[in-house]
Amino acid sequence: MRADAPAIALEQVAKRYGKVEAVRDVSFTLPQGVLAALVGHNGAGKTTLMKMMLGLARPTAGRMLVLGRDPSAGGIEARRQLGCLPENVTFNAALTGREMIRFFARLKGESTKAADGLLERVGLGAAAGRRIGTYSKGMRQRLGLAQALLGSPRLLLLDEPTTGLDPEVRQGFWSILAEFVARGTTVLLSSHALEELEGKAERVIILDRGRVVADGAMDELRRLARLPVRIRVRLAAGASRDWLPSDAVVLQDRDACEVEMACAPEEKMDLLRRVAAEGRATDLDLLPPTLDELYAHFLQGRSDLEARP
Ligand SMILES: Nc1ncnc2c1ncn2[C@@H]1O[C@H](COP(=O)(O)OP(=O)(O)OP(=O)(O)O)[C@@H](O)[C@H]1O
């Protein structure tokens, strides 16, 4: 596969289960070496899309290329370059972490040493000799990640990888993924936890009832949605307040008064200049719209469209 070829290319892909249209007319391409997220409510079609990319389900319509090949054609070579972590991964509880990872390593043609190294990398070195049955949910997820990373995959498909993990384990997860992305691996993960994708996913694909309702870099989506920017300001003691916009909200007025105001993106600079004028503020925070707000915006757009006669 050429270095500039997309890692994933979908063209009008659909998947139907009887009367249920799990995936409808989905098209997108992902270049190599990016971390992208599929975001959507339960039943939006995230798992179905991943299953098709893994060759475990066949699209009812459309074309799909994963690492340059049709996944349902089942080429063994492409499979080797693909790592996956299913939702709620389960392993044989009677095996130790080390036995488990070595077993998968043999399947992938990977050395025992590399497998043990990955256990260390995900922080399971000390627990490698313990039976998986004694592992916490976070430890099992980390074992799952180590399994997915075997063989230095060019593409990682991770279904809700961080659900139920504590913040510290999550942080470790993200830093390992960033390391692989920096080496050229493409990561596509699904998530409900929108806020944690901020600053991590370069690309966000929002799905609703099987369809893509938005697709882009976070900044791009924010621009498209034109959601208001919020500015939180700490006022200087005794400063006049007559310059504040009428819809400014006072958050607290004890020691130093804190107010929050919102404005359209194109009015941001103007408002900032007013805030920054001599003697008015001692501090400010710019609060861009969150991914949650974006998500709500795009889903709202969708239902508006569907409500039309
Ligand atoms: N094997 C199947 N047979 C019938 N319907 C299915 C099957 N797999 C998925 N579906 C349906 O397809 C739709 C999409 O499901 P999918 O699991 O892909 O969603 P999801 O976004 O991954 O949701 P979740 O976050 O709950 O995992 C749902 O309505 C689901 O009930």
pLDDT band at 188 (very low <50, low <70, confident <90, very high): very high
Interatomic CA distance for residues 96 and 89, integer angstroms: 16
Nearest CA to ligand 1 atom 24: 42
Q: Say whether pLDDT at 4 is over 90.
A: no
**For 13-37, what is each residue's pLDDT tens digit?**
999 999 999 999 999 999 999 999 9
- Best mutation site among 21, 46, 52, 87 for ligand 1 pocket (most ligand atoms within 8 Å of CB): 46
Q: Say whether pLDDT at 95 is over 90.
A: yes
Residue 210: exposed, middle, or buried by beta-carbon count in 10 A (0-12, 13-18, 19+)? Answer: buried
- Which SS3 state, helix, strand or coil, does residue 206 take? strand
CA of 226 to the centre of ligand 1 (A): 31
pLDDT band at 304 (very low <50, low <70, confident <90, very high): low
**Number of other CB atoms surrounding residue 200 within 10 Å:** 17
Interatomic CA distance for residues 14 and 37, integer angstroms: 19
- Which SS3 state, helix, strand or coil, does residue 147 take? helix
- Residue 214 pairs in a beta bridge with 206
Q: How many residues does the chain have?
A: 309
**For 143-166, what is each residue's pLDDT tens digit?**
999 999 999 899 999 999 988 788
- Best mutation site among 19, 20, 26, 58 for ligand 1 pocket (most ligand atoms within 8 Å of CB): 20
Distances (CA, A) of 61 to 69, 151, 154, 208: 16, 32, 26, 18
What atom of ligand 1 comes closest to residue 48's alpha carbon? Answer: 18
What long-range pairs does 48-54 form, CB within 8 A, spacing at least 24? 48/15, 48/22, 48/23, 48/210, 49/10, 49/13, 49/15, 49/23, 49/207, 50/84, 50/157, 50/159, 50/188, 50/190, 52/13, 52/15, 52/23, 53/8, 53/157, 53/188, 54/82, 54/84, 54/157
Alpha helix (H) residue ranges in the chain: 46-53, 76-80, 97-108, 112-121, 137-149, 167-182, 218-225, 268-276, 291-307
Q: What is the mean pLDDT of residues 178-186?
A: 95
Report the CATH architecture of 1-81+153-225.
3-Layer(aba) Sandwich (3.40)
**For 191-238, what is each residue's pLDDT tens digit?**
877 778 888 999 999 999 999 999 998 888 888 888 888 999 999 888
Q: What is the mean pLDDT of residues 264-278?
A: 89
| Ligand 1 pocket check for 43: Cβ under 6 Å | yes
- Residue 84 pairs in a beta bridge with 157
Taking phi over 0 as left and psi of -120 to 50 as alpha, with beta for the rest, 62 belongs to left
| Ligand 1 pocket check for 47: Cβ under 6 Å | yes
CA of 48 to the centre of ligand 1 (A): 6
CA 142, distance to chain mean position in Å, is 17
CA of 24 to the centre of ligand 1 (A): 12
CATH code for the structural domain at 228-288? 3.30.70
Indicate the domain borders of the chain.
1-81+153-225, 89-149, 228-288
| Ligand 1 pocket check for 20: Cβ under 6 Å | yes
Nearest CA to ligand 1 atom 30: 43
Nearest to residue 161, comparing CAs of 193, 183, 113, 202?
Answer: 193
CA of 123 to the centre of ligand 1 (A): 32
Q: What tokens appear for 60 in the block?
A: 């009812």
CA of 179 to the centre of ligand 1 (A): 31
| Ligand 1 pocket check for 56: Cβ under 6 Å | no
CA of 42 to the centre of ligand 1 (A): 8
Radius of gyration of the chain (CA): 23
Q: Phi, psi (5° rounding) for residue 89? A: -65, 140
| Ligand 1 pocket check for 17: Cβ under 6 Å | yes
Interatomic CA distance for residues 197 and 131, integer angstroms: 32
Helix/strand/coil (H/E/C) assignment for every residue in 101-144: HHHHHHHHCCCHHHHHHHHHHCCCCCCCCCEHHHCCHHHHHHHH
Q: Please state the ipTM of this predicted complex.
A: 0.96
Contact 6, 170 (CB under 8 A): no
Q: Say whether pLDDT at 273 is over 50.
A: yes
Range of weakest confidence among 10-19, 58-67, 98-107, 215-224: 215-224
CA of 114 to the centre of ligand 1 (A): 35
Contact 93, 118 (CB under 8 A): no
CB within 8 Å of 34: residues ≥ 6 apart = 7, 181, 186, 187, 202, 203
**Quick one: pLDDT at residue 218?**
80
CA of 49 to the centre of ligand 1 (A): 9
